[in-house]
Amino acid sequence: MTSGVAWTTGEGWRQLELSTGSPTHGEFRVFDTTLTTSDGAVLLALDALGLRHVLVPVAADFPAAHDRRSGGVHLTTRPLVDDTGQRQYLDLACQKAHLNGVFTHLAEEVLGLLRGHAIQPLRACHQTLQRWRELLDREASNVLSTEALCGLFGELWHLVRIAAKSAQGTSAWQGPYGARHDFTVEGCALEVKTTTRRDEWKFRVHGLTQLEPPRDARLYLSAMRLELNGASGATVPDLIQSVLDTGVDRRDLLGRLSQVGYDLRDDAHYQQIRIDVIDSRVYEVAASFPRLTGTSFSPTGLAAGVSDIHYTIDLAASPSAPLHLEILDSLHAALAGVRDGGAAEPAV
C-alpha cells in the first residue's frame, strides 16, 4: 500500500502506476488517501488492467449497489481481503483508460464530499456519478484548431482572474453556451478577441450582435496578441488547472469546456502548445468604436435575404482609445459578482 499526506488524486494514481510489480486478476494496488469513514480508509486503486478505482469502505452487511448505466464508470460493491481480513467496499470504477482525466476530476469531487462527513458514501458516489454522466458518455471529438485553441486560451486567461475573485464567477462565462458575449453579468459584458499576428490589431467579428451591448449594460472588448510556443508561456491545460485551483465546481467548468469542443482526453496534445500574451488592450464598445449592428443599416434595415454577416475590425485605425489596463482588475471583480475595493470600479 502507498500513502501520502500532500497529494492530488491524479498524483496518487500516478504513484501507483510507477510502482513496481503488477496486480494479478482480482487484485488491486492501492493508495491510502488518509481519508477515513466510520468503516475504514478510503483508497485509490489500480486493477490488473491498469484501470482506476475509488474504494470506499462500508459495513459488512451493506446492501449491494449496482449502477452500470454509464459505459465509462460503474458503481458496485465488492469484498476485498487485506492483511487484516475481509472488508466490503463501494467500488467506483473507471472502465475506459481514455476517461482517466475525467474520472480523476469525478473522484476529487467524491472525496471532497466524503471529507465533509455530511453525506453517506453511497449517496456521495451516486450523486457525483449522476452529475458527471453526460461527460462520461460523450463521444470523443477532434482536437481544436489553432485558432479555436487561441480563442479558448484568451477566455480562460480572463476566467482565471475572475474565479480568483470568486469561485462562483465561472457562471459569467456564457460564451460556451452560445451567448452573444463571452462573459456576461447584470450591467456588464466582456468580449474576448485574440490574434497571433504580431504586426496588426485586426479581429474578426461574427454577426451584427456580437459588438452590441446588452440592454442597460456596458460592453468591453479585450484584444489580445498571442505568441504560439512562447518560452515563458502557459498551456490551456495549465489555465484550466489554475481555474480549478480556485475551488470552482469541477463538473460545471468541464461541462463548459466540453461545449466548446475541449476534451480532457486530448490534454497531452494541448500540453505541447505553449502560448504567451505579448500585448493586450481593453476597450469600451461605445459610439465611436468600429462595429456593425442592426442599426447600421437604418432606416430600412438589412436587405431581405442577407444573413450570416462576418466582418473585420482594425483597432489600429480606430478613433477609440484603449482604456488603462488597470480597469481589468475591477472588470474581473464585477464579472465575479464582487466589489473590488482596491481598484476603481468600471462604469457598469
**Three-state SS annotation for 70-108:** CCCEEEEEEEEEECCEEEEEEEEEECCHHHHHHHHHHHH
**Nearest Cα to Cα of residue 254 among 116, 128, 75:** 128
pTM of the model: 0.79
Strands (E), the chain: 2-3, 29-37, 40-46, 52-58, 66-67, 73-82, 85-94, 183-185, 188-195, 202-206, 218-228, 275-284, 310-314
| CA–CA gap between residue 84 and residue 91 (Å, rounded) | 19
Mean pLDDT of 249-258: 95
CB 152 within 8 Å of CB 266: no
pLDDT for residue 307 is more than 80: no
Which cell numbers in the block locate residue 133?
Answer: 454522466
**pLDDT value of position 68:** 86
Mean pLDDT of 75-98: 91
First CA to last CA across the chain, in angstroms? Answer: 56
CA angle 53/58/59 to nearest 5° reads: 150
Query: 345: pLDDT confidence band, cut at 50, 70 and 90?
Result: very low
| CA–CA gap between residue 281 and residue 226 (Å, rounded) | 12
Which cell numbers in the block locate residue 243?
Answer: 481555474
| CA–CA gap between residue 137 and residue 340 (Å, rounded) | 40
| CA–CA gap between residue 206 and residue 317 (Å, rounded) | 20
pLDDT for residue 2 is more than 80: no
- Tens digits of residue pLDDT in 192-235: 999 999 888 999 999 888 889 999 999 999 999 999 987 779 99
CB 31 within 8 Å of CB 2: yes
**pLDDT value of position 299:** 65
| CA–CA gap between residue 77 and residue 89 (Å, rounded) | 6
- Cα-based distances in Å from 29 to 13, 97, 328: 10, 16, 48
Residues 6+ apart with CB under 8 A from 281: 201, 222, 223, 315, 322, 325
